[in-house]
Structure 1
Amino acid sequence: MLPRRTYPATEGGKSPVTVKARKRIAAGAVLLLIAGSLAWFGSRPTNSAKPEGGPPAFLTQGMPIMSRPVELTFLAGKSATSASSWDDVLVWKHYAGMSNMRIRFQLVPFESLGETRKLMLATGNYPDAFYAGRLTAAELMKYGKEGVLVPLEDLIDKYAPNIRALLGRYPDLRNSLTMPDGHIYSVPSYYDPDFLSMLIGTPLWINRKWLETLHMPEPQTTDELYAYLKAVKERDPNGNGVADEIPYGSIGINVLLHQLKGAWGLGNRGLANVNVDWDEKSGRLRFIPADPAYKELLEYVHMLYAEGLIEKDIFTIGSGEFYAKGALGVYGSAVMPNPFTLMKMTGYVGAPALQGPHGDRLYSHVKPPLAHIGAFAVTNKNKYPEATLRWIDYLFGDEGSKLFFMGVPSVSYEETPDGELRYVEPITASPDGLTMEQALTPYVTWLGGSYPGYARAPLFKGSESLPESLAAAEKVKPYAVKEIWPPFNFSPGSLGTEITSYVQSMQYKFITGEVPFTDWDKYIGNLKMIGLDSYMQQYNEAFQAYSRSK
């Protein structure tokens, strides 16, 4: 997710990460666990700033935001690629000095964020705000109605000119953020609708060097992808005489399913409503995991898995292990933001939209511009809600976006006379042999996504802005879904949880062969017994509400 710089080839295709750097990464993983534990059990810090001369005053314009320093506590979702502690990260130290608002971030790994968030809200031990909190629409509705979350629409109109302008520019965004009670309880993570490589996020990357070695063209169909993966497994494309190549790898299997389902005509409204799209033949909503075409997709992926063409640990591998393996140059293909930024590997090219067995050629792996509806929310424990909204609003403007995504001028980035932003040389060419994401951790915290903000070119310089990512997006653009639904605002409650859990469980069992496909009808019957018809009725009501709002 960073600007690209060409590195010299290393022996055996291995990433030139030093032992010192590896130890540093390992230590960071330990600190991550500690930070997560503290976020669970640590006591909530209070506003400790007690300036002389009376209480701090809220300032409505410019910087600082408060007349005297104040301190707030935010629960923050953390990716494995960001710093283990944000206290000394450049962006927040600099912004604290500008704004007179020091934020104490209680970090929780994204993997456990949902449970931590639910526990805090249920027990009343929640922070002043949720940052990169991934609150769901159901949580926004519930805790907004109960008064735990602060309504923001009036504060936006008064104190948040950048967010107000964004909502004015994109009326669908305002509609999506507005809950059924008429209030807005969150600030989103939003992508420029014209920034297609950002909406794609994680393309399917193919090892171009191995294609050349194997004398094979880029796969254009699912059959050709299978042939390439099989050749990677059997024909030793790295030429070391050892069967160490992994034809396909990723963190989990879902990203592969999302990349492939368009080849079966599924996912024709994008990724926001991951299990529901529009059935053109019947003219109604379709539950994708119950469709016969989905069965064919699972059969295809089962074939890949059974023949050893997919990473054997695909269901359990963590991001650290995945990136470490990738740095060894063993993957023939992968779904991820960019092999260079996270593995320091070059020579990969984005795959085209693949044509499926029935002639379908749809690229459905496209997120809505509204990436996360509940990226940021203010709670009723916050003593300074107006100041907190001004604090987040600054990061939606041009200057704030530069600070958030790039850091501080002349320290972490430079701006050319024509306005182009570039990270400094120690980041683009780390003397410690770090990847760019590793080199960026002392400066910024957007790594891994889910942040509240407005990502757009040219202010964003993540992996989606790299030449190969832009080329990958252009390649699939003619086949990309044209109508992208946002997430619908409805709460299916325990029924939705039960259906999703069952689908995920059976997806694993079908792919691994634990359950044969002859049991497909039994699987469909169980979905109906759980309450699929009722679930789809609720979904349809939410869809109708969305349609009326347009």
Structure 2
Amino acid sequence: MTRSPFTRRTVLASSAVLASSTALAACGGGGDEGGDTAEKIENPDENINPEGLPIVEEEITISFMSRRSNASAEDWNEVAAAQTTQELTNIEVDWGLVNEEAAIERRNLLLTSGDYPEVFYRTGVPSGDIAKYGEQGTFIPLNDLIEKYMPNLTARMEEYPALRTGLTFPDGNIYSLPGIYDPTSLGLRYQTKFWIRQDWLDQFGMATPETLEEYQAYLEEVAASIEGSIPLGGQDMGSILTSLYGTFGLANHGNDAGLIDLDADGKVRYFPASEEYRDLLSFLAGLYSKGLLQQDIFATDAAAFSANGTEGLLGSCGVQTPSGYFGKEGDNYVALKPLVRNAGDEPAWHAVRSELSSIGNFVMTDKSEHPIEIARWMDFWFGEEGAKLFFLGVEGESYEEVDGRDELIPELLEDKTVDEALKPYVLYLGGWYPGWATDDWFRGVETSEQSTEGSKVVEPYALKEVWPAFTFTAEESQQITTIGNDISKYAEESLAAFVTGDRSLDEWDDHVATFEQIGLADFVAAHQTAYERRS
């Protein structure tokens, strides 16, 4: 029997350490400011316009701590979208920019010390921390502010009920504002697709594969016919796994709830411990043993992936759009329908994102001097005018209308990537944003023509019910984070071992027993509770 270093004692010890750190952190939050903030919400300042622009008659400044991606401008107040918004709203933002490498540590230090700003913006506050600091009163509930002062966001939430479901914590409060993927924007909902080279299919005289057997036959032909090729590759293992989830009946409620779905009896399960996942690993291990799966797949990165594709070495891959990574070489790829295990099986595509793309990138603290003004400022970005500014910049400067569609001005893109061209104009670069993304104004690789066409291939077979990520109480979050970290570490190590053949799948029962030893039952039970609470 293969033994694991993870034990129940490890989990309990980790829990005790986390509990201690949680108690220490609590000392920094929930000061007297919370009452002042509530008072400001109940009794709006006369300077505030309840609707329309400007938001305030006399200019004010609001204080943020913001994660600054290296892809974005060094000073956001120099960005055209920010300058225009300040002119429209009469609100200046002290962004409190912190480089992305240091942002999480800085956020945590500020929360622990109690010396935090009005808002944490684009810092990716984890769900467990939202619950903890929400329950303590450090993060203030946004329910009333949304209802009274955020009509644009309210409209989005009414249109897409999953947003409210995923934002609401067990205490009934909403503490964070969402990132939204408009469900009509196919490239955002179906980001990862499985791609294959049409020119090589034609060269081999092969039809587009529909079954796993036909797909493997194509990979074998690539290996035999194209010198130096990598039949199936990726920038990591994740995109390959997600492209095959539907084939093996995994992630049957989409990608955003983690590695959690429902079993045949309608109960929550951690699917890497399932027989279906074992079957998936068996298929991949077979490809790896024959040299058909990239041999360094567990040690590669995005740069190597792009280089392999650009050099014309990849026969198949999972990605948003090959053209976005491989240039003209990427034009040779077409998207596959979901593969099936046996001829006659019904195809199913499970790599589907929720409309709620993220939470935790906007939270308001109990030190907010301007809660209503901030809520109205944020709501601007959830309307069409603000969303266009956020993603496209200023009309006439960075984009223009062409045949009824807003397009980036071509001169901006000369000898530049889209990100480089838009850096002086937009705020979305680097992701981690609360906002409303649609293909009407989002210009990432996900909404490119090839990505959209590929999404249309899988759309007829896509899941209809997709879960947003679950929310938990602070106590539940502490438990699942502690156990979940050990489970994830063991699962990742085991995935690599099983696929590369370092460990035999004959040991599967021992493998599942190790999950149980770590605490899988408690981990699943917490998710079952969250699922029932949401049902």
TM-score normalised by structure 1 residue count: 0.79
Aligned to 2:9: none
- State how far apart, in whole Å, the 2-side matches of 1:254 and 1:157 are: 39
**Among 222, 241, 255, the residue aligned to 2:239:** 255
**Cα distance change, pair 367–390 in 1 and its aligned pair in 2 (3 A):** same
- State how far apart, in whole Å, the 2-side matches of 1:320 and 1:463 are: 16
Say if 2:260 is the partner of 1:276: yes
SS in 2 for 1:421: strand
SS in 1 for 2:231: coil
SS in 2 for 1:332: strand
Contact 2:192 2:242 in 1 (8 A): no
Say if 2:281 is the partner of 1:298: yes
Aligned to 1:532: 520
Amino acid at match of 2:119: A
Say if 2:219 is the partner of 1:229: yes
Structure 2 unaligned runs (5+)? 1-44
**Among 405, 414, 418, the residue aligned to 1:431:** 414
Aligned to 2:397: 411
- State how far apart, in whole Å, the 1-side matches of 2:47 and 2:204 are: 68
Task: Write the mapping of 1:325-344 to structure 2, written as runs, cut at 5 A.
Answer: 325-344=308-327
Aligned to 1:286: 269
Aligned to 1:475: 457
Task: Write the mapping of 1:505-524 to structure 2, written as runs, cut at 5 A.
Answer: 505-524=493-512
Contact 2:143 2:173 in 1 (8 A): yes
State the 1:277 CA deviation.
1.4
**Cα distance change, pair 171–436 in 1 and its aligned pair in 2 (3 A):** closer
Deviations along 1:74-102, whole A, 9 cap, x unmatched? 32263x75556645443334334433323
Deviations along 1:383-438, whole A, 9 cap, x unmatched? 3332222222111101111111211112211113x5311111134xx332x44344
Aligned to 2:338: 353
Task: Write the mapping of 1:139-538 to structure 2, written as runs, cut at 5 A.
Answer: 139-236=129-226, 243=228, 245-280=229-264, 282-345=265-328, 346-357=331-342, 359=345, 361-416=347-402, 419-427=404-412, 430-432=413-415, 434-447=416-429, 449-490=431-472, 491=477, 492-538=480-526
Number of corresponding residues: 480
**Cα distance change, pair 478–382 in 1 and its aligned pair in 2 (3 A):** same
Amino acid at match of 2:470: F
Aligned to 2:93: 102
State the 1:160 CA deviation.
1.4
SS in 1 for 2:247: helix
**Cα distance change, pair 320–126 in 1 and its aligned pair in 2 (3 A):** farther
- State how far apart, in whole Å, the 2-side matches of 1:334 and 1:152 are: 42
- State how far apart, in whole Å, the 1-side matches of 2:395 and 2:418 are: 18
State the 1:149 CA deviation.
1.2
Aligned to 1:70: 61
SS in 2 for 1:294: helix
Contact 2:62 2:118 in 1 (8 A): no
Contact 2:337 2:347 in 1 (8 A): no
**Cα distance change, pair 498–119 in 1 and its aligned pair in 2 (3 A):** farther
Amino acid at match of 1:76: R
State the 1:105 CA deviation.
5.2
State the 1:535 CA deviation.
1.8
- State how far apart, in whole Å, the 2-side matches of 1:116 and 1:218 are: 51
SS in 2 for 1:262: coil
**Cα distance change, pair 506–140 in 1 and its aligned pair in 2 (3 A):** same
Aligned to 2:10: none
Deviations along 1:358-391, whole A, 9 cap, x unmatched? 8463210001111113232122344333222222
Could you tell which deviates more after superposition, 349-358 or 62-71? 62-71
**Cα distance change, pair 415–105 in 1 and its aligned pair in 2 (3 A):** farther
Deviations along 1:129-181, whole A, 9 cap, x unmatched? 23333333322211111122121111112221111222233344223322122
**Cα distance change, pair 158–205 in 1 and its aligned pair in 2 (3 A):** same
SS in 1 for 2:353: coil
Contact 1:91 1:404 in 2 (8 A): yes
State the 1:307 CA deviation.
3.6
- State how far apart, in whole Å, the 1-side matches of 2:126 and 2:236 are: 22
**Cα distance change, pair 147–335 in 1 and its aligned pair in 2 (3 A):** same
- State how far apart, in whole Å, the 2-side matches of 1:126 and 1:347 are: 51
- State how far apart, in whole Å, the 2-side matches of 1:105 and 1:342 are: 33
**Cα distance change, pair 447–467 in 1 and its aligned pair in 2 (3 A):** same
Amino acid at match of 1:383: E
- State how far apart, in whole Å, the 2-side matches of 1:501 and 1:512 are: 17
SS in 1 for 2:258: coil
**Cα distance change, pair 228–156 in 1 and its aligned pair in 2 (3 A):** same
Contact 1:85 1:107 in 2 (8 A): no
Deviations along 1:168-208, whole A, 9 cap, x unmatched? 33344223322122221000011223333321112222233
SS in 2 for 1:523: helix
SS in 2 for 1:315: coil
Amino acid at match of 1:353: P
More helix by share: 2
Contact 1:209 1:347 in 2 (8 A): yes
- State how far apart, in whole Å, the 2-side matches of 1:508 and 1:119 are: 35
SS in 1 for 2:233: coil
Contact 2:140 2:364 in 1 (8 A): yes
Amino acid at match of 1:450: W
- State how far apart, in whole Å, the 1-side matches of 2:365 and 2:218 are: 52
SS in 2 for 1:155: helix
Contact 2:152 2:380 in 1 (8 A): yes
Amino acid at match of 1:474: K
Contact 2:162 2:355 in 1 (8 A): no
- State how far apart, in whole Å, the 1-side matches of 2:522 and 2:285 are: 30
Structure 1 unaligned runs (5+)? 1-54, 237-241
**Cα distance change, pair 536–61 in 1 and its aligned pair in 2 (3 A):** same
Could you tell which deviates more after superposition, 397-406 or 167-176? 167-176
State the 1:475 CA deviation.
1.5
- State how far apart, in whole Å, the 2-side matches of 1:108 and 1:285 are: 38
Q: Percent identity?
A: 35
- State how far apart, in whole Å, the 1-side matches of 2:272 and 2:432 are: 26
> Cα RMSD between the aligned structures?
2.9
